[in-house]
Amino acid sequence: YLPSNTTWDPDVLTGFGGSISWKPKGVNDDYIAFSEASNGTDFWHIDYNGELWISNDYQFADLNMYGGAPWHPYRQHIKTLKIENGVYRIGNLSFYELTKLQKADLGNVTQIGNYAFEYCSALTDVEMGDSVNSIGKCAFYGCTALEEVYIPYVPNLQVSDYAFGNCTNLRKACI
């Protein structure tokens, strides 16, 4: 469901992988927020434990504004992120300023977009599969709680400028 004061432009919704219908509160009380395709397939949901789960049917769009992701209105509830295997690319600004996010399991994502996790200030644990080959500009910029990051070795790995910039507690990065 959406807060009563929130509206969504249909042109914005189609940029998130197809038509999305929002379920009103009471239809599925297992989730704070939930979205699905017109065929009933889950795209993503946020449960009451604070996990944002993204299905392998979800296609990330590159956002051109901060706070444009459909889960952004619920950012104060999101503590963990689980991306299913089969999602290969995280779009620009997708998880921008999820300040309560502590853990992110990226499955077998190959590309992390620009500013994807920028200012996720509580993020301490990022699990990257052995398929990540591109980390975008400022992807983890300002993740001040991040102390250690392990990036599995991939030939021709591209890590863009400031990918881990202003991560003031980052002490160890292993590739």
> Residues 96-148: pLDDT tens digits?
999 999 999 999 999 999 999 999 999 999 999 899 999 999 999 999 999 99
Predicted confidence at residue 67, as pLDDT, reads: 80
State what percent of residues in the chain have pLDDT above 70: 81
8, 112, 124, 171 from 136: Cα distances, Å: 28, 6, 19, 20
> Residues 4-31: pLDDT tens digits?
444 444 444 444 444 444 444 444 567 8
Q: Give the predicted TM-score (pTM) of the model.
A: 0.82
Q: Pick the closest to residue 23 from 10, 42, 5 (CA basis).
A: 42
